[in-house]
Amino acid sequence: MNTTREVKAMQNGDWLVVVLVVAIIVMWGSVRARRWVERPQQRNRFKVPQGEGEVEPNEVTVLLEGAGFEVVAAKAKIPVVITMNDRDTLQSRLYVDYFAVKDDELFIVKAARERKPLELTGSGVRDALLPYYLLYPEASGVLYVDIHIGKIKKFTFDIEV
């Protein structure tokens, strides 16, 4: 009769060990899951469109690099096809002068043009720069480089829907 009690006692002890092991695994899993959720999201490296040429040093790139930016691509042409009334098609394009990176953030770069100066009003900046920002959601903003005054203006957009 003692052997039967010893077998039953061992089985009860086995259950206790199994419950303890499962509890430890659950606690470990919850701690790991909490760390994963609370860890700041690391941005994936962004895809920079291939430009039409290599980045050659000029006044704009020198100014950007002097401000701590790394110019990673130049002169990207983005074709835009517009359909009107479901039948007529219009063709256009957008040009991005450069793409630059600083502190692991991507910026779209537009260089100032004498024939088309940027109007520094809400509607002027929206009309001139917002389309570029919307094209690249991974971008942190748009840099407007005016080499004539030697300034870089950084524009970020917060769109409320």
> Higher model confidence: residue 37 or residue 99?
99
25 and 67 share one domain: no
* 9, 78: one domain: no
**pLDDT higher at 132 or 48:** 132
Q: Which range of residues forms the domain containing residue 80? A: 59-155
- Report if pTM > 0.75: no
Q: The CATH number of the domain where 104 resides is what?
A: 3.40.1350
- Say yes or no: 20 and 68 in one domain: no
Residue 52 domain-assigned (yes or no): no
35 and 68, same structural domain? no
Instruction: Report yes or no: 54 and 74 within 8 Å, Cβ to Cβ.
Output: yes
In a shared domain, residues 82 and 110:
yes
In our burial notation (b when 16+ CB lie closer than 10 A, e otherwise), range 27-43 reads eeeeeeeeeeeeeeeee
16/10 Cα distance (integer angstroms): 10
Residue-wise pLDDT for 59-98, tens only, equals 999 999 999 999 988 888 888 999 999 989 999 998 999 9
Same domain, 63 and 27: no
* Number of domains observed in the structure of the chain: 2
- pLDDT score recorded for residue 46: 52
Judgement on whether residues 75 and 1 belong to the same structural domain of the protein:
no
What is the pLDDT of the chain when averaged over all its residues? Answer: 83
